[in-house]
Structures are given as C-alpha cells and as structure tokens.
Structure 1
Amino acid sequence: MYQTPGDMDQLAQTITTNIRKISQNVNSMQQMIMQLQSAPSSDNESVRQQLHQIQNYTQQLAKDTNKSLKDMSLGSKNKILKERLASDFADALKAFQSVQRKEAEQERAEVKRARAASQRGNLIELSGQLPPPPGGRQQPQGGYQQQALMLEEESNLEQLREREEAVKNLEQDIMDVNGIFKEIATMVHEQAVAVDSIEANVDSATIRVQEGAEQLSQARVQQERARKKKLCLAFTGIIILAVIILLVWLSAR
C-alpha cells in the first residue's frame, strides 16, 4: 500500500504515543502491585480490579502498536525510523512483560491464600456440626450461623475461581507478548533484507541503464560508419560511371 510522507508521519506519531502510554501504564501497574503486597487482600479488591483493567488496556495497546509498525512501508528513508521505533517498542514491551509476571506472581499468592482460607473454613464448619448434648436441644441460631458460613464459603470459592481464571488470562497475555517480540525481530530482519534488495535492484537498474546507454552509443557510431561507407561507395560508383561515359563518348568520336 502506497503511503505519503504525511501518512508515515502520522503513523510514527501514533506509535510513539502508544509507546509512551505503555511506559506510563507500566509505572502505574508497579505502584498498584506494591500496594497489593503491602496491605491486606480484603482491602484491595478495587485496586486489583483497576490493575486488571489497566493490564488489559495495555495488552491491547501493545497489539495495536505492533500492527501499526507492520503497516509502515519499507524504504531506505524509513529504515532508520522504523528500526528506532521497533527498538523503543521492544524496550517498553520488556518492562510491560516484567510487570505482568509480577502481577501473575501476586495473583498466584492470592490464590494460595484463598485456598488455605477455604480449607480452614471447611474445618471450622465441620467442628461446628457437633451433635447436641444428651437431652438437650440445638440452639436455633446454630443453623443460621451454619447457613451464613456456607454462603461465605460459596462466595470465597467464587472469588477463588475468578482469581484462578485471572492467572490463566495473565499467563496467556504474557505468551502473546512473547509472540509480539518474535514478530518485531522478524519484522526488523525482513525490513533490512527488503531494503538491501531494493537498493540492489536500484543499483542493478542503474547498471542496466548505463549498459543500455553504452550500447545505444555504440549503435550510433556503427550507424554513422555504415552511412559514411555507403556515401563513399556511392561517390566511387558515380566517378566510375562518369569515366565509362567519357570513354564511350571519346571512342564514338
């Protein structure tokens, strides 16, 4: 697809802006992870949700930036610019993937704690299901307490499933970033090969033009020589014809 200089400038500006946003989001994610590590998990659900949202947004931003890099046309003038943008993008991706791994470790730790809490809850629930004393009656509030414990346990299990799913999604996102890294490396390599090929084709075309000009010049020289030769032959023929006519005229007298 043909791209004007204005299109290239706009595309480069978009990529630069996206890289800057990725770096800013990485800093925000690092601060959120530190906050999650320093405070009780029960007080940080909103921070955790915000962290997931900014991670998902940054992941999509990385994919969009990768596509924009691919859309940049090849050429010797764009080679340096594209290589610089690809290098800056790779640095931002490296920082993003690092903070993704920290987030995944934090989520795994939360899952581990949630599982331990769930097991403790089951033990407490079982210990509360002792038979009533002989001749006595079980207190009515005991049934309500057991029901409340069951509801709490169900809620904890749901949160546990959500966090396990979040860990799986994070691991997949990390793998996707690995894929982008590979595409960047391939893109830069192919660009270098393509630019070298373009330059080689230009050099080859220049050589062919020069060879064609030389051949044309040689053809003109040969044509000029042939024309001179024809003129000489014609002039010689005219002289011979004039001599013959003169001899015939003299003999007739």
Structure 2
Amino acid sequence: MELEQGNTLIHQITSNIQQLNQNVQNLNVIVEKIGGPDDTDTTKNSMSTLVQNSNFLSKSTSSLIKKLVPLSSDNRQIRVQSERLMNEYMAVLNRLQAAQRKAAFKEKAQIKTVSVEDEILSSQGTYKVEDDQSRMQLQQQHRVNLNEIKERQQALSQLESDIGDVNQIFKDLAMIVHDQGEMVDSIEANVEHASIYVEQGHQHVSQALAIYCAGTEQVDKHDCLSDQEYNSSEEDSDEELCCGYCDCYERLRHCSKCQQVCYNGD
C-alpha cells in the first residue's frame, strides 16, 4: 500500500518538476526581453502568468514532498527516489530564483532609465515650448513615462513577493529535512545554501525599490525602505551572490566560473 502511494507521489512530483523546468526556460526567454523592443504588454502578461503558475507548482510540489518523505523511512526504494527528487526540486527552485533576480535587476535598470529620461524632459519645461502641439506631446510623453515607472514598480513589488514565497518553501523543506534526520546531509546543506541565496535575492529587490523611491516622487512613502535600511543594504552590497548565470553562488563581484559581472558589480 505504501509503495503504491509512494510511486503515485513520485510520479506527480516528477511531473511537476518537469513543468517547473520548462517554465524556467520560458521565463528566461521572456526576461531577456525586458527593456527591449519586445517588452510589450503581452510579454509582461506572459511573465506574470509563468511566475504565478510556477509558484502554484512549487507550493503543490512541496505539499507532495511532505507526504512522500515519511514513506521513505521504511522503504529504501522510496527513500532513494525521495532524495533524488528533493535535490532536483531545489535545483529548479534555484534556477527559478535566478530568473526572478535577473528580472528584478532589469526592471530596476529600466526604472532608472525612464526616470532619467523623464527628468530631462521635465527640465526642458513645457513653458519653453512655443506651440501647443509640442507642449501636448511633451505632456503626453511625461504621462507615458510615469505610467511605465508605476507598472515597473508594481512588477518589482510582485517579484519581491514571489521571492518571499520561494523563501518560505525553502524554510518548509529545511523543516522536513530537520524532522527526517536520517536523510542525507547533502540535502540539508543544499536547503541551507538555497535559503541564503533567496535572502540575497530578497535584499536585492528591496534595494531596487529603495533606489526607485529615491529617484521619483510618484511612490507612496510606505512602499519605500527607510534611509537607514537602504544604507545598510548598500554597505552589504559586496556580499551579493554570483550573478545567477551559473550555479556556483560565489560571493564575488565578478564570477570566476561563468565570467559574468554580478548584478551589483561596477
């Protein structure tokens, strides 16, 4: 009975992990479009749908793993499969997190770009424009800029929430490992490392929001970090993890493995 139940759970978890892997691949393609000519409403909607579906799958998979792990105590076959799936699951969660962090970085960059463009536009002053048509065009562009900044700030806030969701999943997995002391040590180490990785991602998005708040007056104060919190995160910026293009998680501004400059690098 337990073997049959275990095999059913293994099949469901395997299917979820495969779908998560596909989602991450698709998400990486979409993230590359942020800030480019293909960064349309359709692209934004596709990314939102992918992230929501991935979060749903992640939570569902965690629930299935919670049911599977107790069955592994008295069955070596299930135990081996359980350990394998746990590692595969955390690996795909790390890739999902890397995609989210990269999306956050690119959204932050676009907020800064549009803010600078709008500042230049405002410095020209509509009063300096002689004809009404040009004045209306400037005002329209100003509204477009403000709307884009608002939309991207909302996207950053959603990414921060998504990072928090994944962080909770890692904490749940860590609890499972703690309760099942006989499981391999490598899984526990993986959970601990992944939790640190997510915390860094969470800090990165919060820092991005702080920069945005400092650069525009279009955001409510309660959405911003305090100056003290922002300065603290800036002081710790050198401790950011690798850029996320590989799985080395080096605490370097320049990753020696993937040869990519970290997000917060010079």
TM-score by length of 1: 0.62
Deviation at 1:193, TM superposition (A): 5.5
| Equivalent residue, structure 1, for 2:12 | 14
The structure 2 residue matched to 1:145, chosen from 92, 113, 134, is 134
Contact 1:18–1:61 (8 Å) recurs in 2: yes
State how far apart, in whole Å, the 2-side matches of 1:108 and 1:56 are: 20
State how far apart, in whole Å, the 2-side matches of 1:130 and 1:103 are: 38
* Aligned residue pair count: 178
CA RMSD of aligned residues (A): 2.4
1:129 aligns to what SS in structure 2? helix
Q: Which runs of 5+ in 2 are unaligned?
A: 184-266
2:127 aligns to what SS in structure 1? coil
Q: How does 1:27-42 map to 2 (within 5 A)?
A: 27-36=25-34, 39-40=36-37
Deviation at 1:91, TM superposition (A): 0.9
Which amino acid counterpart does residue 57 of structure 1 have in structure 2?
Answer: N
Deviation at 1:189, TM superposition (A): 2.7
| Equivalent residue, structure 1, for 2:24 | 26
The structure 2 residue matched to 1:185, chosen from 161, 174, 182, is 174
Q: Deviations over 1:176-212 (max 9, x none)?
A: 2122122212212312369xxxxxxxxxxxxxxxxxx
> Who wins on radius of gyration, i.e. which is larger?
1
Deviation at 1:143, TM superposition (A): 2.5
Deviation at 1:149, TM superposition (A): 2.6
Structure 1 residue ranges (4+ consecutive) displaced by more than 6 angstroms after TM superposition: none
Contact 2:62–2:169 (8 Å) recurs in 1: yes
Which amino acid counterpart does residue 70 of structure 1 have in structure 2?
Answer: K
Q: Which runs of 5+ in 1 are unaligned?
A: 132-137, 195-253
Contact 2:34–2:107 (8 Å) recurs in 1: no
Identity value in percent = 26
Contact 1:29–1:51 (8 Å) recurs in 2: yes
**Residues 36, 130 of structure 1: CA spacing in aligned structure 2 closer, same or farther, 3 A cutoff?**
closer
State how far apart, in whole Å, the 1-side matches of 2:32 and 2:128 are: 43
State how far apart, in whole Å, the 2-side matches of 1:87 and 1:7 are: 21
The structure 1 residue matched to 2:147, chosen from 129, 137, 158, is 158
- 1:65 paired with 2:61, answer yes
TM-score by length of 2: 0.60
1:117 aligns to what SS in structure 2? helix
Higher relative contact order (CA 8 A, sep 6+): 1
State how far apart, in whole Å, the 1-side matches of 2:128 and 2:100 are: 46
1:145 aligns to what SS in structure 2? helix
Deviation at 1:23, TM superposition (A): 1.1
The structure 2 residue matched to 1:129, chosen from 123, 127, 130, is 127
| Equivalent residue, structure 2, for 1:114 | 114
**Residues 190, 80 of structure 1: CA spacing in aligned structure 2 closer, same or farther, 3 A cutoff?**
farther
Contact 1:86–1:188 (8 Å) recurs in 2: no
